[in-house]
């Protein structure tokens, strides 16, 4: 549920940010969740259920994540995620999952809003279409590193290394980003020059991510573009296949 906070979420290293989203997230320990419990068990012949519970500073305000992985007859993997965030938590940065590929998956295509980064409250100027580029090209070098490269209203996206492609198919729509940095990498640096790209591609798949708003010098994100704590259910299909021709 964590993202590399934007300047509008709250400017780190500045005082007086306690009541801004970043201050609330840090106070709740959202940037440093700890696992309370974890369990994996078979559901059916080709399915497994993984249940994890995490919490920040108050163990009573937990976040439950149930992930159901099912292998299909076509050798793809259907993934269902059910997230339950305690309703006493503050408005959240995002609801999603993060994974990394092996090094080399640097070619990107997606069918969704683009070609530049966009968020749910700033995507009217990003038409839905088929786009492509490198993972490196998605990075936005803000002076202070922060959340970037997000894409909304995505139907599918794929990463390839020249030999194999990994395709993520939304059910029905998702947000995603593909970078050579984790959110922790971005949040831990105060200048872009301090960042060291990872060889792996870090993939973030979100049910929803908080909008950007104008909180550094104006009103905060409108409520309809915030992520209220509660229950979320999102799905996607994962396929790996050789590139042809």
pLDDT at 224: 97
- Contact at 8 Å (CB) between 104 and 242? no
pLDDT tens for each residue of 211-244? 999 988 889 999 999 999 999 999 999 999 998 7
Instruction: Say how far apart CA 231 and CA 211 lie, in whole Å.
Output: 19
The H or E element that residue 83 is part of is strand 77-85
**What confidence tier does 20 reach under pLDDT thresholds 50, 70, 90?**
very high
Q: Please compute the mean of the pLDDT values over residues 105-117 and round it to a whole number.
A: 98
83 phi, psi to nearest 5 deg:
-115, 130
Instruction: Say how far apart CA 190 and CA 143 lie, in whole Å.
Output: 8
What's the burial of 141, exposed, middle or buried (CB within 10 Å: 0-12/13-18/19+)? exposed
| For residue 245, pLDDT beyond 80 | no
CA dihedral 140, 14, 122, 137 (to 10 degrees): 10
- Contact at 8 Å (CB) between 233 and 213? no
The H or E element that residue 138 is part of is helix 135-138
- Contact at 8 Å (CB) between 8 and 31? no
Instruction: Say how far apart CA 229 and CA 95 lie, in whole Å.
Output: 9
- Looking at per-residue pLDDT, the higher value among 74 and 103 belongs to 103
The 3-state DSSP class for residue 1 equals: coil
User: Which residues, other chains included, contact 57 with Cβ-Cβ below 8 Å and sequence gap of 6+?
Assistant: 27, 28, 29
Total Cβ atoms within 10 A of residue 159: 21
pLDDT tens for each residue of 133-155? 999 999 999 999 999 999 999 99
pLDDT at 17: 86
| For residue 45, pLDDT beyond 90 | no
For the chain, give the mean pLDDT. Answer: 96
pLDDT tens for each residue of 56-89? 999 999 999 999 999 999 889 999 999 999 999 9
| For residue 171, pLDDT beyond 90 | yes
pLDDT at 186: 97
Query: With pLDDT > 90 as the criterion, what percentage of the chain qualifies?
Result: 91
């Amino acid at each position: 549920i964590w993202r590399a906070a934007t300047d509008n979420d709250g400017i780190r290293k500045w005082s007086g940010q306690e009541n801004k989203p970043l201050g609330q997230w840090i106070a709740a320990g959202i940037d440093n969740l700890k696992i309370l419990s974890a369990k994996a068990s078979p559901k059916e012949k080709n399915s497994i259920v993984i249940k994890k519970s995490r919490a920040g500073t108050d163990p009573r305000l937990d976040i439950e994540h149930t992930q159901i992985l099912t292998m299909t007859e076509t050798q793809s993997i259907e993934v269902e995620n059910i997230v339950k965030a305690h309703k006493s938590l503050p408005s959240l940065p995002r609801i999603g999952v993060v994974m990394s590929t092996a090094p080399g998956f640097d070619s990107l295509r997606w069918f969704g809003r683009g070609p530049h980064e966009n968020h749910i409250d700033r995507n009217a100027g990003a038409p839905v279409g088929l786009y492509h580029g490198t993972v490196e090209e998605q990075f936005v070098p803000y002076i202070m590193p922060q959340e970037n490269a997000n894409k909304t209203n995505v139907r599918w996206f794929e990463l390839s290394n020249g030999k194999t492609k990994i395709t993520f198919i939304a059910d029905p729509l998702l947000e995603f980003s593909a970078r050579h940095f984790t959110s922790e990498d971005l949040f831990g640096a105060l200048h872009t020059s301090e960042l060291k790209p990872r060889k792996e591609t870090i993939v973030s798949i979100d049910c929803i991510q908080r909008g950007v708003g104008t909180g550094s010098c104006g009103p905060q994100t409108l409520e309809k573009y915030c992520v209220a704590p509660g229950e979320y259910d999102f799905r996607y299909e994962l396929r790996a296949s050789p590139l042809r021709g």
